[in-house]
Amino acid sequence: MKVKEKLLHTFIADFIDEGSMVLDLGGNKGEFSKFIVDEFRATVYVIEPIPELFNQIPENPKIKKFQYCISKEKKIEISIPENQCATIYDKNFNKKIICKGITLEDFLKENNIKKVDLLKVDIEGAEIEMFENLSEEILRNVNQITVEFHDFLWPELKPKVKLIKNKIQSSGFCCISFSITNNGDVLFIKKNLISKFQYLYLKYFERFRRGFIRRIKRYLKINE
């Protein structure tokens, strides 16, 4: 297996190619989307609500850009902290903007997306509501999900994250947390795509190998 990581989002590269459909929720400046296009020539649909970030997403025929926030509300207030990413979860910040909201289900319908080879989720707490309301039909048509859960910022989310992980696993996915101490880099991959041996390799070898490398990199950066 070819295990790839970009911006602390880990996924299996064997199932991504030029014909793949990748959905980037929380695209920021488009770094992840650009990586996918450069590396695999796949088509990426990227959603980013913050205008300053949305405007920096590269112009590319393979990158389809949408200025939305994933939410069941049609209009949603987003808080913009100084030293962390914008969020709809935490309201305790003075700077706020109003963004257009759309559910993942409606977005897929509007864009006639039937199958998603890789779903990347980094939406600063809004992933809880999204996954809680995600239908079994959508999950059936997704092969991989790489998600940053934000319970490391808001520990009260931990019970909900646990329930979401159980929900997705019961829908036919394996779950591997590549973060050793939190849920900051979680991969869900369809069970029929990997063997039992590959699952055990990812869960008990690759996970700890990558965690060790990350710690070394953080240590070296601190001491530069």
pLDDT average, residue stretch 171-175: 97
The yes-or-no verdict on residue 7 having pLDDT over 50 is: yes
117-134 residue pLDDT tens: 999 999 988 999 999 999
Residue 94's pLDDT is what? 66
Residue 222's pLDDT is what? 54
154-171 residue pLDDT tens: 899 999 999 999 999 999
CB 1 within 8 Å of CB 194: yes
**Fold (CATH) for 3-222:** Rossmann fold (3.40.50)
Stated length of the chain: 224
Residue 220's pLDDT is what? 76
Residue 96's pLDDT is what? 85
CA gap 128, 217 in Å, rounded: 30
Residue 217's pLDDT is what? 75
186-199 residue pLDDT tens: 999 999 999 999 99
CB 163 within 8 Å of CB 149: no
Three-class SS of the chain: CCEEEECCEEEEHHHCCCCCEEEEECCCCCHHHHHHHHHHCCEEEEECCCHHHHCCCCCECCEEEECCEECCCCEEEEECCCCCCCECCCCCCCCEEEEEEECHHHHHHHCCCCCECEEEECCCCCHHHHHHCCCHHHHHCECEEEECCCCCCCHHHHHHHHHHHHHHHHCCEEEEECCCCCCCCEEEEEHHHCCHHHHHHHHHHHHHHHHHHHHHHHHHHHCC
